[in-house]
Structure 1
Amino acid sequence: MAARAGGGGPTTAATVALAAAGVPFIPHVYHHAATATDYGAEAAAALGIEPEQVFKTLMVDTDKGLAIGIVSVDSKLDLKALAGAVGAKRGVMAEPAVAERKSGYVVGGISPFGQKTPLPTVLDDLALLFDTIFVSGGRRGFDIEVSPADLVAVTRGTVATIRRE
């Protein structure tokens, strides 16, 4: 995988963060339908890849503060498992307005990279089955292909089982 060098996709806070970290990634732009509400399934279908290789970035409000959970789009986030992974007892999904304000992205386009407020981040261990995974590039209709190890390194995250099948 070659690092993006100024072309092939939009410049977002996510691409700027990855370039600054020297992390290789591949941008993938696809048509986002304004009527789509299942952004991850839309991305998988548009890019012609299996849903388990496309990951969604979700913000959770725990009793220890906000945190990020990253799970495949065909899985559900286990809120209790995520809370435990960040040293909390419980968590609920953050309000969309809070997620947008803290991340700097719109819902459906929240990237784990380049967020306004860096938060504790946990990547589901399913990601380790793949050489690369797809996550939002910072806007709807734009995904970034990156290695799970690079995602964890750039976000200073951890890996744990945080999904419910």
Structure 2
Amino acid sequence: MSAVHNVQEALDAAGVEGRARTLPQSTRTAAEAADALGCPVGAIANSLVFMADDAPLLVLTSGAHRVDVEALAARLGRRRIRRAKPDEVRAATGQVIGGVSPVGHPAPLETVVDEALRQYAEVWAAAGTPNAVFPTTFDELVRITKGTVVSVAAG
């Protein structure tokens, strides 16, 4: 089964109305996705995998800013958070960097949802490949990932 199919099955199981769609151009970066979708870069929910004290942590962050790993570690009570290596991302999600979806993984992942995404009526997330996305809302994203809402940027 394709990664996009797995994501769509997870969306269907969660009662999400938004459909995964494959675009002709890359949506690997937030800027590329925003250009392709005609939306603000901040409305792109980047799915980034980190290792938090050696356990995978999925961080869904607004495309408008970067994750401050030291601030996030302090907010979550972790000793250390670092970006996951490509093989760690694939092992945790079954997906490749640039296409990691908030859902459709082999096993549930601890997830953090950036509170900055709350300001957008519609957000877009990757759907398993570097050119597949799906629309959702902040509240739905929190619900389907069982995510913890937290600020992931400095400040």
Give the structure 2 partner of residue 117 of structure 1: 107
Give the structure 1 partner of residue 98 of structure 2: 108
- Report SS of the residue matched to 2:101: coil
Q: Counterpart amino acid of 1:96?
A: P
Aligned length: 153
Structure 1 runs of 4+ with >2 Å offset: 26-29, 80-87
Q: Which moved more, 1:74-83 or 1:126-135?
A: 74-83
When the two chains are superposed, the root-mean-square deviation of aligned CA atoms in Å is 2.1
Residue pair 1:28, 1:145 contacting (<8 A) in 2 also:
no
Q: Give the alignment's TM-score, normalised by structure 1.
A: 0.83
1:157 aligns with 2:147: yes
Residue pair 1:39, 1:108 contacting (<8 A) in 2 also:
yes
Return 5+ residue gaps in structure 2 as ranges: none
Q: State the alpha-carbon separation in 1 of the partners of residues 54 and 88 from structure 2.
A: 16
Give the structure 1 partner of residue 63 of structure 2: 73
Q: Deviations over 1:87-129 (max 9, x none)?
A: 3122000101110121011111000111113211011101111
Q: State the alpha-carbon separation in 2 of the partners of residues 152 and 86 from structure 1.
A: 17
Counterpart of 1:39 (choices 3, 25, 29) is: 29
Q: Counterpart amino acid of 1:76?
A: R
1:23 aligns with 2:16: yes
Q: State the alpha-carbon separation in 1 of the partners of residues 151 and 11 from structure 2.
A: 25
Give the structure 1 partner of residue 84 of structure 2: 94
Q: Which moved more, 1:24-33 or 1:144-153?
A: 24-33
Q: 1:85: how far off?
A: 4.3
Return 5+ residue gaps in structure 1 as ranges: 1-9
Q: 1:29: how far off?
A: 3.0
Q: Give the alignment's TM-score, normalised by structure 2.
A: 0.88
Q: Deviations over 1:45-91 (max 9, x none)?
A: 11111101112101111116211111122311111233344431220
Residue pair 1:30, 1:43 contacting (<8 A) in 2 also:
no
Q: Go from structure 1 to structure 2 and tell me whether the alpha carbon gap of 1:17 and 1:30 turns closer, same or farther (over 3 Å shift).
A: same
**Alignment identity in percent?**
28
Q: State the alpha-carbon separation in 2 of the partners of residues 76 and 19 from structure 1.
A: 30
Q: Counterpart amino acid of 2:7?
A: A
Residue pair 1:109, 1:139 contacting (<8 A) in 2 also:
yes
Give the structure 2 partner of residue 83 of structure 1: 73
- Report SS of the residue matched to 1:76: coil
